[in-house]
Structure 1
Amino acid sequence: MTWLTLRNLPNFITICRILLVGPTVWAILRQRFDLALALFFAAGVSDGIDGFLAKHFGWTSRLGSLLDPLADKLLMVSSYAACAWTGLLPLWLAALVIGRDVLILAGATAYYFLLHPFEGQPSWISKLNTLLQILLLLALLWHHGLRPLPVSLTDTLIYAVAATTTVSGLHYLWSWGRLLLHQVWHV
C-alpha cells in the first residue's frame, strides 16, 4: 500500500501548496507579479480543494490538521514579508501581520506544552482578518501584475487588514489568557 491513497489526497495537495510558497515568494521578489498572482491563486484553489475533500469524504487526519494551517501561514507570512521587501506593502503592516501570527503560534505552543493539546477554532474576526489579508494580496498582485486598481481600494484594504489584525490578535490574547487563568488557577 502506498502513502498516496485517496484518503491521503488532501495531505498531498497541502504539501504541494507548501511547495508553492518558494516560487510565489521568488516571483514577488523578482517583481513577476503576474506569475505571483497565478501561483497565489493556485494555492488558494488547492486549499479549497483539499478542504472540500477532507470534509466531504471524511479524509481528515491529524497530519492534515497540522499541515493545512501551516501551509496557509507559510504562504501568507512569506507573501507579506516579500511584498514589504519589494515596497508593495508598508513595513509596519507586514510586521503587524507577522507579529500576530508569531503571537498565536507562541500562545498555542505554550498552551500545548504547559497544559495539553487543543483544537483551536478561529473566531469570526480571525476569519474576516484572513479574508481581508488574502484580498489585499490579490489586489496588490493584480494591480502590479495585470491592471491598475484604484489606490483607494488598496489603501482601504491596508487599513482594514491593520484593524482586523490588531483586533483578532487582542482577541486571541484575551481568550487564551482567560483560558489559561481558568485552567491553571481556576479563576
Structure 2
Amino acid sequence: MNIPNKITISRIILIPLFMFFLLAPLGLGDILIAGYVLPWAHFLGALLFILAASTDWLDGYYARKYNLVTNLGKFLDPLADKLLMTAALIALVELALLPAWIAVIIISREFAVTGIRLVAAADGQVIAASNLGKWKTVFQIIAVSALMLHNIPFELIGFPFASITVWIATILTIISGWDYFVKNKHIVLKSK
C-alpha cells in the first residue's frame, strides 16, 4: 500500500476519533476564549476534523506529484471524503448546531453524484470533480469547522461567519449537484 492510500486510511481512522470527542460527554470542561465559552470536547473534535479534512488535499497532491494514483486510492479517497462529511453533518445535527434539512441536502447530493459516477464507471467513463464540486467541498469543510467551534473567533465580534458559510456551502452543494446532472444526463438517460 502506497503513502497516499495510507494517508486516506488515516482520514477514515480519524472519523470515529473526532466523533468520540465531539459527541461523548467527557466532562472535559470548557475553554474560555476572550470571554466566550467553548466546550473542550467540541474544540478537540474540530481540530481532529480539520486534521482529517486536510489529509484529503495531502493524499491527492502526493498521489499526483509522485504518480502514485491507484484504483484503491480512486475508491478510498471519495469514500473517506463522504464518510467524514456525513459523520460531521450528523454529529452537528445531533448537537443542534445544524438544521437537519441542510444535512439531508448535502448528503443526498453526495449519494446522487456517487450514483452517477458508478453508472459512468460501469461504462468505463470517469467523471472528474468539477471546480464547483471542489469549491463546494472547501466551503463544507469551512462551515463544519466553524460550527464545531461555535463560530469562534467571529462570535466575539458578532459576525455570523458559520451561518454564512453554511448557506454558501448549501447553495454550492445544490448548484454543483445540478451541474453534475446536466453535464452527465446522457449517462443517466442512456438506454442499452
**Alignment TM class, shorter chain as reference:** 0.7 to 0.9
Matching of residues 40-59 of structure 1 within 5 Å? 40-59=49-68
Aligned amino acid, residue 87 of structure 2 = S
Uncovered stretches (5+) of structure 1, i.e. residues with no partner? none
How many positions carry a matched residue from both structures? 175
Determine the structure 2 residue equivalent to 1:168: 176
Uncovered stretches (5+) of structure 2, i.e. residues with no partner? 25-38
The TM-score normalised by the length of structure 2 is 0.81
Determine the structure 2 residue equivalent to 1:20: 14
> Are 2:128 and 1:121 aligned?
yes
* 1:142–1:148 CA contact under 8 A, matched in 2: no
Determine the structure 2 residue equivalent to 1:138: 145
Which has the larger displacement, 120-129 or 44-53?
44-53
More helix, by proportion: 1
Q: C-alpha distance in 1, partners of 2:132/2:60?
A: 20
Matching of residues 141-152 of structure 1 within 5 Å? 141-143=148-150, 147=153, 149=155, 150-152=158-160
% of aligned pairs identical? Answer: 29
Give secondary structure in 2 for the equivalent of 1:20: helix
> Are 2:161 and 1:153 aligned?
yes
TM-superposed CA distance for 1:147, in Å, is 4.6
Structure 1 residues 161 and 46, CA, compared in 2 at 3 Å: closer, same or farther?
closer
Aligned-residue Cα RMSD (Å) equals: 2.1
Q: Which residue of 61, 70, 74 corresponds with 2:79?
A: 70
TM-superposed CA distance for 1:151, in Å, is 4.9
The TM-score normalised by the length of structure 1 is 0.83
Give secondary structure in 2 for the equivalent of 1:94: helix
Determine the structure 2 residue equivalent to 1:88: 97
More strand, by proportion: 2
